[in-house]
Structure 1
Amino acid sequence: MDATKPRSIAKAESPADTAREESSEVTLLIERAKNGDADAFGDLMRLYERRVIGIGVQMGLSRDDALDACQDVFIKVFRYIHRFRSGESFFKWLYRIALNSIHDHMRHARQPGVVSLDNLDRGMARQIEDKSPALADRIENDDLTSRLLAELPCLSRRERIVFVLRDFQEMPTSEIGKILGVAQVTVRRHCMSARQKLRERLFPRGH
C-alpha cells in the first residue's frame, strides 16, 4: 500500500457513495430549495456541510477557516441554486463551488499551510493503515498523518485538489474528472505527481 495514501480521514460516507445515492428525498429538497423553501435549504446544508468542512481541513485550512469557507459556500449555493439543472448531480455542482471557495480562503487563511490533527472533528481522523513492519517501526501512524497534512502546501492547487478528492474523500477518478472538467488520464497524472512529491517529502532518500 502507498504510504502517502490514507484509507480515510473523513467520518462521513464517501462522496462517490453520495453521488450514487442521491435519493428522491434529496431531489425533492433541491427542488423545494430552488423554489425558495428556506427549511428545505437548511436541510440540504445540514446534509452536506460536514463534508465541505472536512474538505477544507484536508486541503490545509484551520478548523475556523474551514468553517468560514463552509459558510461562504452555502451563501453561494443559496444565491445560485436556481441555476442548478434538475437531473444533474447536486453533489458535483456543490463540490465545484466548495473547491473554489476553499481555494480563495487558502490564500487568506490565518495560518496557511499549518494543519494539526487537533483541527479535525472528533472521529474524523483515522490512522493511516500500512502493513509494512518497517514503516510501523519508523513512524507512528498519527504522526505520519499529521506530517502528511502539513506537507500538502508543497503541491500545486490542482494536485492538492485531486489528492484530497481521490485519497482522502475516496472519490473515483471518473467522478473527479467530471467535477474538474478534465480527462481521467489527467486526474491520474496529477494524483501520481502529488503522491510522488509527498513521498519524497515524507521519506527522503538516505533516511
Structure 2
Amino acid sequence: MHESPLLQDAAMVVIAYWWRCCLIVLLLSLVVSSVAATDQPGRYTNNQFGFSFQSPGGWIYAHAPERNVRVKIVAPDGSPAAECAVTVKEYPKAGNARQGEIDQIFLVAPTIEELHEVLADGGRQLKVIKASTGTLDTRPTHVARYRLQLGFDEFLFGQIAMTATPGLTWSVSCSGRGGSPEEAEKNYQFWQKGIEALMTSFRFTKKR
C-alpha cells in the first residue's frame, strides 16, 4: 500500500523539524533579557499562531533571538535557574496535510535511540534518558527527557515535547540549568510542578 502524498508531506515536516529545530530549543539557556514578570501564575496567549499556556508564578518573559521561538520564559533572578520556550516553525507546502494523518505519526512511540540520534546531531554531549508519547492539548506528541552539556560548566536537564499541525511544527521545551548535571536536575525538579502545569495547560486556540 502506498502512503498518500499528504501523509508523506506530514512525515517530511516532522523529519525536517526534528533535525533543524529541536536542538535549537534545547540551547535557549544563553543570553536572556527580561521584559515582564508576575508574582502569580499568568496565562500567556499568542494570537498570531493560536496557543496559550499558564506560566509558573514569578517567571519572566525573555528575549529569544531565534526566529522561530515564539515565546521564552525564565525563572526569576535569585531562584533555581530554569526556562521554557515554545517554538513554532512554518511549512506552507504542508498546509493541506490532514491532522488525523499527522497524529498517527506521533501516536507511535519513539525509542531512546531514535530521539538521541535526532537531538545529538553534530556530536553534541546530549543523552536522552527517556522517550515517550504524550499530549499537548488534544494533539499527540513525542517527548524526550534529556541531559545536555553546553560547555565546561554549563548543563541542562529537561524535556521537550514535539508535535505538528497542518503547515506547522511545534515544540515546548523546559529545562533546569546548572553548573553541574546534578544542579541542573535539582533546579528542574524544584520547578517541576510548575513546568508540568504549564504543559498540561497548553492549548491550541485556533481551529485547524
One fold, TM greater than 0.5? no
Name the TM-score, length of structure 2 as normaliser. 0.25
RCO higher in structure (CA 8 A, sep ≥6): 1
Give the strand-richer structure, 1 or 2: 2
Look at both structures and tell me which one has the larger radius of gyration over its CA atoms. Answer: 1
Give the helix-richer structure, 1 or 2: 1
Name the TM-score, length of structure 1 as normaliser. 0.25
